[in-house]
Amino acid sequence: MIVALAGGVGGAKLADGLYAELPANSLTVVVNTADDFTLHGLHISPDLDTVMYTLAGVANPETGWGVDKDTFSGLDMLGRYGAPDWFRLGDRDLVTHILRSTALREGSSLTEVTARLGQALGIQAALLPMCDEQVQTIVQTPDGELGFQEYFVHRQCRDQVLGVHFEGLEQASLSDAVRSAISQCEAVIICPSNPIVSVGPILGVPGLRECLLNARVPVIAVSPIIAGQAVKGPAARMLEGLGKQVSVVGVAAEYKELAPVLVIDEDDRDLAGEVAAAGSTPVVAPILMKTPEDRRSLARRVLDIVREVRINNGMSVEDQDSRAEMHA
């Protein structure tokens, strides 16, 4: 089993490629929930939904988030009532939030309700929230502190980022589901998600880093930064605002304690030496995913790297097979 750590749109693309390349029920995606928030009394988990809709094959291919061909009658009505309508909620998407919120109110954990929703959509992979407790990303800007969706969606990332913190993260705990997935997996893939606000909170769940290091499995990260820029979203500006290097070298520095392999784009080949000096083993590959085939070929490449690392780490093919059987 392979564990992927993912945020929303960027992470979902590689998770989708892995899902297509791996046998059924051999992928677990641990998803950031620090973006979760409550709106109209509903618990919204943007990153979980993006990954869920993507793996279920119902994501909007243009935006990468939301449900394909969704309608917005509910949102129009919210607007007529004068309710906030800056967060785009489609009619089908709303149903997910209604069901999730109801289940949470009735006492289910986020882990349980996420599993039920994913199964109902026919997903043959495990989707796990990074934790069951509520965590909130807060962005410090010159105008004060903003909730993540306020910064990201309402104000469209226009504010300068002075700092980021995650309320509730220190009180959160590793769920049994995440712990057992990591301790039983063959490798962990850090998807090309925002290192600060998507992967950062996942790695910050108390006990997760330790669990990952104890698992002694290959950790392979794919850079979300190509040629000094984010493919989409505020990752580059966030790294810059936080005084970090806006390049694959900065990404390597974020993940270095996990000593992962960092897959970087061909455009960043000349930075391979600096990535190695920052503590990650660089592998150069095309990492821009524009088409479904791009997702699959990057996933194949990443799975090849997993095999190579396992062989170099001295795990014989028999070890790998017996381990795979053990956890099948």
Q: Which residues bind Ca ion (CB under 5 A)?
A: 7-8, 35, 47
- Residue 222 binding ligand GDP, by CB under 6 A: yes
194 part of the interface to ligand GDP, by CB under 6 A: yes
Q: Beta 229-230 vs 219-222: how paired, if at all?
A: unpaired
Angle at CA 72, nearest 5°, toward 69 and 73? Answer: 130
- Would strands 163-167 and 187-190 be described as parallel, antiparallel, or unpaired? unpaired
CB of 320 to ligand GDP, least distance (A): 27
Does position 231 interact with ligand GDP (CB under 6 A)? The reply is yes
Going by C-alpha positions, the residue among 25, 20, 51 that lies closest to residue 202 is 51
> Is residue 54 a contact point for ligand GDP (CB under 6 A)?
no
Q: If binding is defined by CB under 6 A, does position 201 make contact with ligand GDP?
A: no
Shortest distance in whole angstroms from residue 322 CB to ligand GDP:
34
Q: Which of 96, 137, 198, 247 binds ligand GDP (CB under 6 A)?
A: 198
Told to check if 11 binds ligand GDP by CB under 6 A, we report yes
H/E stretch holding 264 reads strand 261-264
Bridging pattern class, strands 229-230 and 42-44: unpaired
**Considering the rule CB under 6 A, would residue 149 count as an interface residue with ligand GDP?**
no
Near ligand GDP by CB under 6 A: residue from 105, 216, 232, 269: 232
* List of long-range contacts for 84-92, beta carbons under 8 Å, 24+ apart: 84/39, 86/153, 86/154, 87/39, 87/44, 87/149, 87/153, 87/154, 88/153, 89/39, 89/40, 89/44, 90/66, 92/67
Residue closer to ligand GDP (CB basis): 13 or 100: 13
Strands 144-147 and 163-167: unpaired
Give dist(CA 154, CA 85) in Å, integer: 10
The entry of ligand GDP, Ca ion, none that residue 165 binds, CB within 5 to 8 Å by partner kind:
none
Q: Which stretch binds ligand GDP (CB under 6 A): 100-108, 227-235, 303-311, 314-322?
A: 227-235
Residue from 3, 8, 49, 161 that binds ligand GDP (CB under 6 A)?
8
Give the contact letters, 287-306, x = binds to ligand GDP (CB under 6 A), - = no.
Answer: xxx-----------------
SS3 content of the chain, % helix, strand, coil (to 5): 45, 15, 35
269 binds ligand GDP (CB under 6 A): no
Residue 36 sits in the site that holds ligand GDP (CB under 6 A): no
Select 226 or 246, whichever has its Cβ closest to ligand GDP: 226
Residue closest to 250 by CA, chosen among 285, 221, 278: 278
Task: Establish if 224 lies at the interface with ligand GDP (CB under 6 A).
Answer: yes
Binding footprint of ligand GDP, residue count (CB under 6 A): 25
Q: Going by DSSP bridges, is the β-strand pair 163-167/42-44 parallel, antiparallel, or unpaired?
A: unpaired
Of 8 and 218, CB closest to Ca ion: 8
Q: What is the CA radius of gyration of the chain?
A: 19
Please report, for the chain, how many H helices and E strands are present, in that order.
14, 14
**Interacting residues toward ligand GDP by CB under 6 A:** 6-11, 13, 47, 50, 192-194, 198, 222-224, 226, 230-233, 235, 287-289
